[in-house]
Amino acid sequence: MKIPSWQAIMFGTCSFGMIAFANPLQAGLVFSIDLDPNTAGVQNSISVQPGDSVTAALVLELTEATSLDSYRISLRFDTAGLAFNEATASPLSGFRNNSSVQHSGGVVSAFGAESLQIGAGPSAPLTGVIGTVKFTALGASGMFVVEPWEDPVFDGSFDNNFLPLAPTLQSGAVNISAVPEPSSMALLALSLLPLLCRKKLRGTSVARRSAS
């Protein structure tokens, strides 16, 4: 049976679309976490103490010859060491927000924007902060991860041909060092006192022997 030309064209178009969405392009799109936005470059680690404020900037970068029509990405963090305060989306120049940022548990979603002219977004090179999240460091000591996360249902990035892009996701680490409590410091000082006294007595006896 001969297939009509219009059906062949539709079948080919749908097949191409299904293949494209099943196999995202391996493009030079990178989402990373900058834990010190006031310092040049992306700082993916920071050391803080309990109670300190932590600002995580979500950075988008196009590093290869590709275009970007729209993006949507989320952020995950370790609730054992970080308490969420607030989040702000800041779309790149030439883009407009197409979603509202929301927080639930250890996820902040969704930082999303689309180009002002659909299908005519910018091309690489392109770098900028697309959002910031502020935390408070909790009392637990250790290393706690903050990372970009692409929700398989809601998130995704597309080029100007509306083909999906497969971004590289680079996480950050917040190192929290608990400050000893005053009582602990007092106990430490008392434990060192006998050693200091012994050292002083030893020095005094040596001095007397030298004098005699």
Give the residue among 73, 36, 69, 66 at the shortest CA–CA distance from 53: 36
Residue 178: pLDDT over 50: yes
Q: Which amino acid is present at 27?
A: A
Model pTM score: 0.75
Q: Given its phi and psi angles, is residue 94 left (phi above 0), alpha (psi -120 to 50 degrees) or beta?
A: left
Angle formed at CA 76 by CA 178 and CA 49, multiple of 5 degrees:
15
Select from 1.10.3720.10, 2.70.70.10, 3.30.420.40, 2.60.40.680 the CATH code of 26-179.
2.60.40.680
Ranking 18-22, 50-54, 110-114 by mean pLDDT, the lowest is 18-22
Question: Using one digit for the tens of pLDDT, what is the confidence trace for 145-159?
Answer: 999 999 999 999 999
Domain ranges, ordered by start, for the chain: 26-179, 182-212
| pLDDT number for residue 27 | 74
pLDDT at 187: 47
DSSP three-state, residue 155: coil
CA atoms of 10 and 150, how far apart (whole Å): 31
Question: Taking Cα atoms as reference points, which of 29, 39, 32 lies closest to residue 57?
Answer: 32
In this structure, the number of other CB atoms found within 10 A of the CB of residue 195 comes to 9
Three-state DSSP class for 74? strand
Check if the beta carbon of residue 108 is closer than 8 Å to that of residue 74: yes
Report the chain's mean pLDDT, rounded to a whole number.
83
The span from the CA of 99 to the CA of 131, in Å, is 12
In angstroms, the CA 20 to CA 74 distance is 23
Question: What is the structure's pLDDT at 16?
Answer: 41
- Res. 211 pLDDT band, cuts 50 70 90: low
The confidence score (pLDDT) of residue 181 equals 54
State residue 185's pLDDT score. Answer: 47
CB atoms within 10 A of CB 3: 8
Average confidence (pLDDT) over 96-104: 94
Q: What is the pLDDT of residues 44-86, one digit of tens each?
A: 999 999 999 999 999 999 988 889 999 999 999 999 999 999 9
